[in-house]
Chains A and B, each alone.
Chain A
Amino acid sequence: MTTETAAGRFGRYGGRYVPETLVPALQELEEAYAAASADPAFGEEIARVLREYVGRPTTLTPARRLTEAWGGANVWLKREDLAHTGAHKINNTVGQVLLAKRMGKKRIIAETGAGQHGVATATACALFGLPCEVYMGALDVERQALNVFRMRALGAVVRPVESGSRTLKDAMNEAMRTWVSQVSDTHYVIGSAAGPHPYPTVVRDFQAVIGRELRTQAQAAFGGLPDAIIACVGGGSNAIGVLHPFIGDASVRLVGVEAGGHGLHTKQHGASLTLGTEGVLHGSRSLVLQDEDGQIQEAHSISAGLDYPGVGPELAHLAKTGRMEVRIATDDEALSAFYEVARLEGILPALETSHAFARGRELARELGAGKHLVINCSGRGDKDVATISARGVPPPVGVKA
């Protein structure tokens, strides 16, 4: 089952809205990707790197104490936080950098929000020996110092972007401008399942390994399909990756959680699926936070990875057609969930991932005992400790002061 209604189109969404200079490069990428996909050797090479280097398959962990605390469905965690570099982003960068090598490209550029995609791209570039430049909003450079260091340690150049809101959307603008100038020898590794065709398809396919593994693991663990899968949604790469293999399974509820920021009434949020309107941003038609004059609004989220005013076109299609349910978690709810997961499961989830956990309790209760809820644990929270600890740490549990 696919939601692709024509090449690069997901219902009303998708397409390729880019300067003409880039169109031939996108066509070249589309053709190279089709050829690589048809080549068993390419698939085997990716599978080998994911196994030997990334540490796949990532485990499906029963979350016994969360299950008990929430008092509903059995809760399982798909542990993308255990993948090398600490998030799902590496699945896509390994695939795209291998593809770029196959295409004979000499250098790699990328954008990053939280820095996880930048780190994953820098990692793949170190592994395969290609120079790497990462564009990152200057605000994100400040709040993600750990990942900035990791990228530099891996040999990448981090270029802070000072324009606009100084976050992910501006980093993407600058990466696209750079790509227009150096398109002949450069591959642009987009990290979200967004951007112009074929990126939403390419990124989704490389990330769908999450959902495929989950299918097999669910069968082994509880003898069936999950009853619901929940994932956080910024641009949407972890969500589309875990959800896509289940689109055709009507019994499986697919749930995306968007950044509610300070609340949907405040205009400081990242809820493009819930409050966005149809528009074109970063090369595809999708749901976008914008004003009535078509100016893109600044998003807000405590998590840099969800601080984005757009969303991938396939997720927009899944949301608008009702196949995916969309829920909201605010900054405060995500923070509470972070500590809940830390203290009940011994896992520090990324702030992005904490948004998915924040809606876990109600979903587990809606499903009820005996059902199976899988939360995509998309990344680990080490990168967020400065942001989180700046707000104070709650008292220890079960220890006298």
Chain B
Amino acid sequence: MSGEIAQTFARAKARGEGVLVTYAMAGDPDLPRSVDVFAALVEGGADVLEIGVAFSDPIADGPVIQGAAERALKAGSTLKRVLDEVVPAVRKRCPQTPLVIMTYVNVIMAMGEARYAKLARERGVSGTILPDLPPEESASLRATFDAEGLDLIPLCAPTTPPARAQAIAKEGRGFVYCVSVSGVTGVRTELPPDLSQRLDLVRKAAPVPVVAGFGISTAEQARVLSAHADGVVVGSALVRAAHAEGPEAAKAICADIKRGLRR
């Protein structure tokens, strides 16, 4: 376990707050300017940063993050460059904020699982989320990550049956990412009514904190969910704002959602 993520959740809990996990795409609009976006998210109140590494075929992502991935690839973003150029710069500006890489399994395989785990840890990455790596395929990667102290953060879906959700939760590292809706990433006006029960079930089984993500973009959604989760993930709303209006707009959204997370 990396430790940094657990400490961040513990500190938030002590303050009586839910944790705000935010996603942005490294390399959108280019590598240096994406560092400004990550720093703005933290200034707005983000507690954990998910650093997206673009993949050419992002099957779990909706149009907003697909667009960001296309821009990042055009700007020359690669996993190696994100670890060498973006992660150290973000660490420097936000030394207290745990960093989590979110990408697709093929990007990790291309670098080599062990090489990635070592390099990521050296650069100060705490965890990794791979939305196309379900539990059946993750045992060997998790062992490699565990050996380096890098958290492989699992995802749990609305379609996951209860027993399977509990098993996923038990193997959680860092936190468990509960996908709130059946679908791809992107802003939704309504979240499913049974989401709170699902979060309660996973939270009971998980040795680590539980966050809800996919579709969340407002303070009200965050407020409702924070009764059942240790935090929320916001991605597409921030990526869209940063792309359309710049880092300050994304920062303002963070600040608003963070208000919803203060109990």
Which secondary structure dominates where chain A touches chain B? mixed
B161: chain A residues within 8 A (beta carbon): 24
> Can you list, as one digit per residue, whether each of B87-123 has a CB less than 8 Å from chain A (1) or not (0)?
0000000000000000011111111000000000000
A177 within 8 A of B: yes
Assess whether A16 is interfacial by the CB under 8 Å rule: yes
Contact A18 B111 (CB under 8 A): no
B184 contacts A20, CB within 8 Å? no
A–B Cβ pairs within 8 angstroms, 7 of them: A16-B134, A17-B133, A23-B159, A293-B110, A294-B55, A294-B106, A296-B57
Q: Within 8 Å of chain A (Cβ to Cβ): is B146?
A: no
0/1 per residue, A292-314, Cβ < 8 Å to B?
11111000000000000000000
Interface residues of A in 16-49 (CB under 8 A from B): 16-25
> When A164-B57, A177-B184, A295-B73 are in contact, do A19 and B110 touch as well, CB less than 8 Å?
no
A279 within 8 A of B: yes
Stretch at the interface among B17-25, B33-41, B44-52, B150-158: B150-158
Q: Does A173 touch B at the CB level, under 8 Å?
A: yes
Which residues does chain A contribute within 8 Å of B59, judged by CB atoms? 18-19, 173, 176-177, 180, 282
Q: Which residue of A lies closest to B59 (CB)?
A: A176
Q: Does A160 contact B (CB under 8 A)?
A: no
Given A15-B136, A293-B79, A294-B110; 4 other pairs, CB 8 A cutoff: A19-B59, A25-B159, A170-B57, A177-B60
- Report if B62 contacts A (CB, 8 A): yes
The answer to whether B182 and A164 have CB atoms under 8 Å apart is no
- State whether the Cβ of A169 lies closer than 8 Å to any Cβ in chain B: yes
Q: Is B245 an interface residue (CB 8 A)?
A: no
In the assembled complex, which residues on chain B have CB atoms less than 8 Å from the CB atom of A19? 59-60, 131-132, 134, 155, 157, 179
- With known contacts A290-B110, A293-B80, A294-B110, A17–B60 Cβ distance under 8 A: no
Contacts A169-B57, A294-B110 hold; do A184 and B182 have CB atoms under 8 A apart? yes
A contact residues around B107 at 8 Å (CB): 293-295
User: Are B182 and A21 in contact (CB-based, < 8 A)?
Assistant: yes
The reply to whether B134 and A183 form a contact with Cβ atoms under 8 Å apart is: no
Choose from A176, A180, A279, A288 the contact partner of B182 (Cβ within 8 Å): A180
Closest to A277 in B: B110
* A23:B183 contact, CB within 8 angstroms: no
Question: Knowing A19-B155, A292-B110 touch, does A281 contact B183 (C-beta < 8 A)?
Answer: no
Q: Tell me if B7 is interfacial: C-beta within 8 Å of chain A.
A: no
Quick check: A290 and B183 within 8 Å, CB to CB?
A: no
Q: How far is the CA of A278 from the CA of B110 in the complex (A)?
A: 8
Chain B: residues with Cβ within 8 Å of the partner, total of 42
Q: Does residue A163 face the partner (Cβ distance < 8 Å to B)?
A: yes
User: Is A233 an interface position by the 8 A CB rule?
Assistant: no
A15 in complex: contacting residue of B56, B131, B137, CB < 8 Å: B137
- A63 CB, min distance to chain B CBs, angstroms: 40
Report yes or no: B182 in contact with A290, Cβ–Cβ below 8 A.
no
Residues in B with CB closer than 8 Å to A288 are: 106
Residues of A within 8 A of B62 (CB): 177
| Distance in angstroms between the alpha carbons of A21 and B168 in the assembled complex | 13
Answer whether residue B78 sits at the interface, using C-beta atoms and an 8 A cutoff. Answer: yes
Interface string of A156-174 (1 = CB under 8 A from B): 0000000110000110010
Question: Given contacts A293-B79, A296-B57, is CB(A16)–CB(B136) below 8 Å?
Answer: yes
Which residues of A are found within 8 Å of B56, using beta-carbon distances?
164, 295-296
CA distance A280 to B103 in the complex (A): 13
For A177, the chain B residues whose CB sits under 8 A away are: 59-62, 183-184
Contacts of B131 in A (CB 8 A): 19-20
